[in-house]
Amino acid sequence: MKFNTKVIHGGQHHEPATGAVNVPVFLTSTFAQKSPGQLLSGYEYSRGANPTRQALEDSLASIENGARGLAFGSGLAAIDCVLKLLSPGDEVIAVDDLYGGSYRMFTRLFEKYQLKFTFIGFDNVEELESVITDKTKLIWLETPTNPLMKLVDIKMVADAVKGKDILVAVDNTFATPYIQKPLDLGADIVMHSATKYLGGHSDVIAGALIAKDVELGEKLHFIQFASGGILGPHDSYLVLRGIKTLALRMQRHSDNGFEIAKFLENHSLVEKIYYPGLSSHPQYDLATRQMTEFGGMVSFTFKSGKKEDAIKFLENIKVFTLAESLGGVESLANLPAMMTHASIPEDKRAVLGITDDLVRLSVGIEDAEDLIADLEQAFNSII
């Protein structure tokens, strides 16, 4: 199947008892057995498997070209599951420009259990090879990164560790499988905050993992079952429904994102613009190789460099909404230094370039002309 067909039909079957086209929401914790240990339908207890969640997990595997999909109560619950593959003393190499919640989990939770985290830019293979040791077991990537839209060459990383006992995991939340297929490029695991583009309507908190092979998928499923961070059936239904329109929405997000980026690139009050679809982006060539579109996430800074200008700008937006999160049909804006990335220490933010005036936009599917007009009037408020 091609992608537009996969998001609707991939891994999906009509409900066998009634022929229902949409999978029902199976609001049950347990399932009747014919005899002790002899299951009627293959389902035993909903923490292990639930028909609604199974339909979503099958869809996830299909759209990412993976062997096994797993759905969790949040994106962080999905990351937690991956880290539980590791043992004390293992080392993780992660991209330096990282979602604040991931950084917080790595440094404030899992470092306590003797996992070592090294953060690098992944600018070239030499940089990566210089920090790999015999204890390295996992490489954690975001591409594009949050919030500076840096790219990591997934194939380069996968090729660099080929034949080694090192897993490559990619947070594909910003790009989605419509734009980028990490497993096809050599990654072992894909992670999504399904709260974002997969759900797409700002009405659910969810996470997802997709494993490249069956054996790894079984290991992750055991941790999911044993730790219990599963996604409930109703939320599973909402994400599955969102996936059905993913291709349509992502094309619109990408079209609008490009228009907004061009507008900002030429605005007199804007200093830097971060968007991989602009030819001025330092990794534009990689973007054209690795991505089919460039998404709806755009970040920028002010020529004044003043946090006060960014705050005033955000206080005056009207069509955009000042809020955390991203990936919904509505446009959102936030100030990472005070919101999504506040958990990253100030000195580290400064080194990375997450300045106090950096604004991150999640461009929705509204009319681009209305979004640009809204940004213009917000800029005018600080003149």
Q: Which of 330, 149, 178 is nearest to 251 (CA)?
A: 178
Catalytic residues: 47, 99, 171, 196
What is the token pair recorded at 218?
């079984």
Cα distances from 341 to residues 96, 122, 331, 337, 364, in angstroms, run 13, 20, 19, 5, 21
Structure tokens at 280: 């001025």
Given a contact cutoff of 8 angstroms between Cβ atoms, the answer to whether 71 and 230 are in contact is yes
Max alpha carbon distance in the chain (Å)? 75
